[in-house]
Each structure stands twice: as C-alpha cells, then as structure tokens.
Amino acid sequence: MSPEGRAVANGRVLLAGTGSGPLLRLAAPISFWGGVDPSTGSVCDPRHPDHGRSLSGSVAWIESTIGSSSSSSVLLELLRLGLGPAALLLGRADPILSLGAVVAVELGYPGIPVVELPAGVPAEVADGTLVEVRADGALRALPGGG
Amino acid sequence: MSGGPGTGGRADAVRLTTEEAAVLAGADGPAAATAMRIVTEAARLLGADSLVPIGSAHIDGCLYHGDGGVEFAERLVREEGAVKVPTTLNVGALDLLHPGRVKGDDHRLEMSRRLMNAYLSMGCSATWTCAPYQAGHRPAVGEQVAWGESNAVAFANSVLGARTNRYGDFLDIACALVGRAPFVGLHLDAARRATVVVDTSELSERLRDLDAFYPVLGSWLGRAVGDRVAVVDGLPPTTSEDRLKALGAAAASTGAVALFHVSGVTPEAPTVEAALGGQPPERVIRVTPEDVRATLATLSTSADGAIDAVALGSPHFSRDEFCRLHGLARGRRFSVPFYVCTGRDVLREVAAEGWITDLEAAGVTTVADTCVIVAPILPGHRGTLMTNSGKFAHYTPGTTGYGVIYGSLEECVESGAAGRVVRLTETWT
C-alpha cells in the first residue's frame, strides 16, 4: 500500500474536514443520547451489540441513527471534551446527530468531518482498519492499520 | 485525529428569499444570523433547496447534557436571540416545582438552571414537558412546525397531522429564532405517504384493546420500519391519544419513527389506501403473537423478583392516566419509591381534583418539569425499576444504570405495593 493509502469509498460531504482513526463499525442503529456516555464516549446501552466499545478517536460507521433528539447534544459534549469520534460515516444524512458537529464548529471546538455513505463501507475494510476521511468525502485505508 | 472542518453557512444549493438572505447577513441581529446559518447548513446537508415558514416550535435543547449546550444557548441570549414563533420547552434537568427532588453536584444543578433560564430569556414558554400536546400546544392538521423531542415529533406528525422532521437540540432553537425550517422530508406531501402496511389482524382483539400492548407494538414498529412511514391496520377505531402517545414514543426510541398512521384513527389515514396515497405498499408486515412476545421480552432487562422503584410517565402522564392511576392506587400504600413524571400544566389540573393528595398519601412522588431518566432522581446508581412505559423501558439501563422490568399499569401498582413484581394475568398469550 502506498503511504497515501488505498481509496475504499467516496461519500457526500455533510460537514467537510479530515479525520483518521480505526474504523468502528457499529453493528446496530444507535441513539447517541441513551446509547453513548457523554462523559466517556463509550456505548452505554447494554442492549446494543457494541456495548462497552469506545467511539473516541474512531472513524465510526453508523448505518442508521435512531431515537433521541438529544443525540446532537451528546456529540457536542464529546467534541468539547476531546472524546468524540475522529469522523462520522453515516448511511443516511441525519438531521439530529450531524448538528452536534455543526454547532461544535460554531463554538470553536475541534470539529470532525461527517460523510454520507449510502452504499456503506465495503465489507473488505475490516473493523479496526486505520482509515482516513478526506475533505472531499473520500475514505482511504491507511498502511499500518489493523 | 481530525481537523479543519468548517460550516460557514454556504447556501449554494439552498435558495433563500431576500428576507432570509438579509437575516443570514445579520439584518435581524447576530443571534438570528447564527440561527439562519445553522438552519441553512442543516437544509444543505438534508438536501433541501429552500426553507419553509413554521407556525410553532418545541425545543428539546433545554435539557442539560454538558456545558457545551449551555455555552451555545447563552451565546444566543447574549446575541439577543428571540423566538419568532410560539415555542414550548421540553423537560429540563431540574424539577423547579419540587426543589431537592433532583440530586447531583452543584455544578450540574447550576448549569441545568442556567440552561433553562437561557431558553426562557429567548421567549420560550415554561411548559417543561415532553408532551407539549398535553399543555395546549396542538398545531392544526397540515401546519408546518419544527419540533424536537422524539415522542413529541411522532405525536405532532401522526396524531395531530402537523408537519415536522425529527429536529434535535440546536436545530430546534435555530428554527424558532428565524421561524423557518429546511423544506424537506415530512414537511412535504410525498414523504408523508405510508410505504409499509402493518397488519395486526392476527392478534387477538383483547390484546389490541390493552393499554400495555401499545408500548410493545411501538417498540416492535421502530425496529421493523426504522425511519419508514407505516400505516398500522386493525387497531380499534377508539384507540385513545394515550395509546397513540405510547406507541409513538416507543417507536421513536427503538427506531427513527417520526410519523406513523393508524387506519381509521389518525388524521391522514381515514383508510389504509388513503395513507398509502393510492399506491401499492413496498412492504406488508403481519404482526404475529410471537412478534409481540419476543418484543415484550426485550423490554425487560431484569428477571421478575424484587424491585427498587416504580416510574410512570414517559411521555409525561396525562390527566386521563392520572385518573386511572388514582382509581387503582387510592388507599394503597407503596413499599418502594413510586415516581410519576408529568408536566406542570397537567399537575395543576389533577392537583385541583384532589388526586395528588390521595396519591401522595399512597406514597407517590410526583416529578414535574423533568423525569427520572434525564436527571438524577432515582436512589443510588444500581437497582431495578419497574415501568409501564416503553420509552422508560428502552432508555433506563443506558441512562441510569438501573435494570428495568416492563409491566402494565395495574402490575406496576401491585408490584409497587408488594416491593416485588406481581403479574396479574396471562395477558400476552
């Protein structure tokens, strides 16, 4: 693999930026409020298959968001505390969660890219692979990842 | 690691009217400009090409989750933000009517109060309820609104026939400050048409006429349809608002349900065919008794046995629900903490009936303006909570650390008296 990594997907930019980290594929839809602990970044809903895993620093693939209107607040809080994901990849543009990242930028907190990937992250990119989201919505697998 | 994102209020794909563009440029003050930037940004990312004027808003963002939300709201206040449309407030993280009921450290209590005050300063009404529709906020059929709070969104669209998307914290107040919302999704006719038919005819009539069935049906619906619009067929034509409220709240917890139709009951579904807009459904799902039993099992995370508390009222208890509880609990004595969460408007009404005096004598603790899963109210951090609410059943483990047991209102009352789970009938067979 080149140092630039390998292109694996291209999405629609919901919020532009760059971010890299291990890919975290959430196995089920999630509500950030009630589903992610705003003080740690870990999945706190015991019914969720990823219960206990941390989103902090990850490039999180979330096929669908569900539930609470407060999910935007939880994301904002994670970004304020430096505990947020490094990037969000959403199966579908979401009017709640994404707004947490929009407001983080308004308040001058470190922001993150949010990209819509309706076709998903290709199956060959395993959970834990080091990936990078580019400002144009490109997703690349980086060398040295898991 | 990440860096370099920016919003900047790019409006390239979103056509703004002259007036909207002026607000974006600051003609209506800095808070309105911030709000218009956020609304325009949301419109862009949702794929809207214009904004729609709204008649009212319901704000979820007044509930404290951390200092970032307070910073945002207080900045809007400093920038002299004032809502342009009638705007109600969701629960906060304090019970203002019963000081001391919410625990927590001083910082949390102070920031919760500052957040609530910030939203009042912008001209929102002190309703402090997740059920604004029980506090007189009832937009008309077809009215464009911007509501937050997942159960309120489902109720506004489905039961009232008003039009809103699932607005979350920050976008809700931004819409209220400019009186506009992204013109996309459920604001438009096309997205309101049902594409899924849910056929309940295989379920017994007795089950379909049971209050405790509706949170279960809602929990099933949210998982089954996600964010698609379903029309549920086969429910009694007399299905009450409280049952629809419970159905919607549960569906909006397990799924992203913002609108459901019930044929012969909700305003946009005089018939299944009407709800489908005359087109064939993409999918027909028949709910089986096994589906109901399997979903029921997911609502409890603890086994039947001793309980540490009972909580009712998510969404906030209505007058009718208080009436039923009063009939069941009057003269009883609960042996574990028994919380009923409600809005101050309903509380005032039912207190005037004398019901609260009787319920308190039975050991009921009323919680107003907030509820047990959004603020530290329950004793300790571990225990088992019993509830008749599908929404409490869904969120309690993740937000409080408590295990949860689901049961009917009658079972909650009997169990609250006994201090352990009491099952009354073979209801679910």
Residues B137 and B54 in one domain: yes
Q: Which residues pair with B367 in a beta bridge?
A: B341
- Rounded CA separation B296/B406 (Å): 8
Domain of residue B27 covers 18-190
Evaluate whether residue B29 is within a structural domain.
yes
Name every chain A residue with its beta carbon within 8 A of the beta carbon of B165: 95
Predicted local distance difference test score (pLDDT) of residue B220: 98
Name every chain A residue with its beta carbon within 8 A of the beta carbon of B6: 16-17, 105, 111
Q: What is the CATH number of the domain that holds B39?
A: 3.30.499
* Angstrom distances, CA of residue B95 to CA of A127, B64, B102, B268, B382: 43, 13, 7, 36, 22
Residues B406 and B358 in one domain: yes
Residues B285 and B377 in one domain: no
| ipTM given for this complex | 0.96
Average pLDDT over residues A127-132: 98
Reply yes or no on whether A68 is catalytic. yes
Number of folded domains in chain B?
3
Q: Are B177 and B31 in contact (CB under 8 A)?
A: yes
Average pLDDT over residues A103-118: 97
- Ordered mean pLDDT values, 10 residues apiece, chain B (429 residues): 41 87 98 98 96 98 97 98 98 97 96 98 98 98 98 98 97 98 98 98 96 98 97 98 98 98 98 98 98 97 97 98 98 98 98 98 98 96 96 97 97 98 80
- CA nearest to A82 within chain B: B1
The pTM (predicted TM-score) of the whole model is: 0.96
- Rounded CA separation B7/B71 (Å): 18
Boundary of a domain, candidates B297, B313, B345: B297
Evaluate whether residue B397 is within a structural domain.
yes
Residues B46 and B62 in one domain: yes
Evaluate whether residue B123 is within a structural domain.
yes
Evaluate whether residue B7 is within a structural domain.
no
Predicted local distance difference test score (pLDDT) of residue B305: 97
Predicted local distance difference test score (pLDDT) of residue A70: 97
Average pLDDT over residues A74-103: 97
H-type alpha helices, B143-302: 150-158, 171-178, 189-192, 205-208, 213-225, 241-254, 272-275, 289-299
Boundary of a domain, candidates B256, B276, B297: B297
Predicted local distance difference test score (pLDDT) of residue A1: 64
Residues B90 and B126 in one domain: yes
Predicted local distance difference test score (pLDDT) of residue B13: 82
Distance from CA of A2 to the nearest CA of B (A): 20
Q: Which of A68, A69, A70, A73 is labelled catalytic?
A: A68
Residues B280 and B310 in one domain: no
Residues B143 and B41 in one domain: yes
Predicted local distance difference test score (pLDDT) of residue B429: 61
- Rounded CA separation B131/B314 (Å): 9
- Rounded CA separation B364/B341 (Å): 10
Residues B226 and B213 in one domain: yes
Residues B94 and B162 in one domain: yes
**3-class secondary structure, B86:** coil
A69 and B394 in contact by Cβ < 8 A?
no
Q: Are B350 and B376 in contact (CB under 8 A)?
A: no
Burial A5-36 (b: 16+ CB within 10 A, else e): beebbebebbbbbbbbbbbbbbebbbbbbbbb
Residues B361 and B408 in one domain: yes
- CA nearest to B45 within chain A: A14
Decide if pLDDT at A48 tops 70: yes
Predicted local distance difference test score (pLDDT) of residue B12: 57
The minimal CB distance from B5 to the residues A29, A73, A113 is found for A113
Residues B81 and B206 in one domain: no
